[in-house]
Amino acid sequence: MILQIVLLVAGLLLLVKGADWLVDGASVLAKKRNISDLAIGLTIVAFGTSAPELVVNVIAASGNYPDIVFGNIIGSNNFNLFVILGLSGLIIPLSVQSSTVWKEIPYSLLAAIVIFFLANNYLVDDTRELSQIDAIILLVLFAAFLYYVATQLKTEEGLETIEVKDYSQLKIWTLILIGLGGLILGGKLVVDNAVSMAQSLGVSEKIIGLTIVAAGTSLPELATSVVAAYRKNTDIAIGNIIGSNIFNIFLILGVSGLVRPLEFNPSFNTDIYILMGGTIFLFFAMFTGKRKKLDRWEAFILLATYLLYTGYLVGMES
């Protein structure tokens, strides 16, 4: 068991560092080829924080571990919403742009609703499965979101340029290759040892996916949002989380579903309800207290809700 824990932690560290190295090298390569800051931000940088979830899910889908696939994404989204926003909001009340309130938060709620209906197949039959057709629907919705973000950024004034270092071609490709290798090896270590831990502890893969794997793959989002909140860059703190939750469902579950049809465990519905409820709470929090701001007491409610629900989940398994 100790060895499994060590290997799982090593896998998570490789995932985080691998994503960091890959983004670093790819950003410099793109800049050298005169690709715009907007394109780099929308693709390479945005992919970077979601890379751990993507790699873990592709490996889990290939190995036919659907509970790890759904647990990782739904658990990551809940961790992002309740823990990372909760912690960030306790550091400083998070002010939000109008577009985030009226468009991005509702779009993240739409993502949760869409996966609920697609996975349960309420509109087709009683087979609970994310099919490859469902996966294509998710990817189309992701493309629509990407188009919205691109048009939104083009209309914003004072858009920050992305600072990249000046590396040699050798260092660029070394970073990219080591980053990819770290992601693949880290993802394999996480999936294999998460499944082994579940079997050794006698708990379900679902619980391991929802808690340990989900929290571990959310480390890039945690670091980004907490540091942004500490530096009072509140738009980045909250925008990073909402964007990541949309990416996770539409892009990562979409890609996972293309690998193979994924059987859906209906017990995940409760976790999706929690995700929907938290997203709705966040939306209405924008209109209580100071408008367009997540106040500290609201952030505390988010964090406390996650801790109580996770304690309930673990208690149910024991």
Residue 107: predicted pLDDT: 92
CA 173, CA 11: separation in Å to the nearest integer? 22
Average pLDDT over residues 42-62: 82
* Class of residue 131 by CB neighbours under 10 A (exposed 0-12, middle 13-18, buried 19+): middle
Tokens of 125: 């039959």
Distance between terminal CA atoms of the chain?
18
Residue 312: predicted pLDDT: 87
- Contact 256/132 with Cβ under 8 angstroms? no
The residue that leads in pLDDT, 18 or 152, is: 18
Domain extents in the chain: 2-317
Element (DSSP H or E) covering residue 305: helix 296-317
CB atoms within 10 A of CB 269: 15
Element (DSSP H or E) covering residue 94: strand 94-95
* pLDDT for 115 beyond 90: yes
pLDDT tens-digit map of 200-233? 888 888 898 898 899 888 888 888 788 888 888 7
* pTM for this predicted structure: 0.85
**Which residues, other chains included, contact 60 with Cβ-Cβ below 8 Å and sequence gap of 6+?**
66, 68, 69, 72, 191, 256
- Contact 48/22 with Cβ under 8 angstroms? yes
* pLDDT for 156 beyond 70: no
Question: For the structural domain made of 2-317, what CATH number should be given?
Answer: 1.20.1420.30
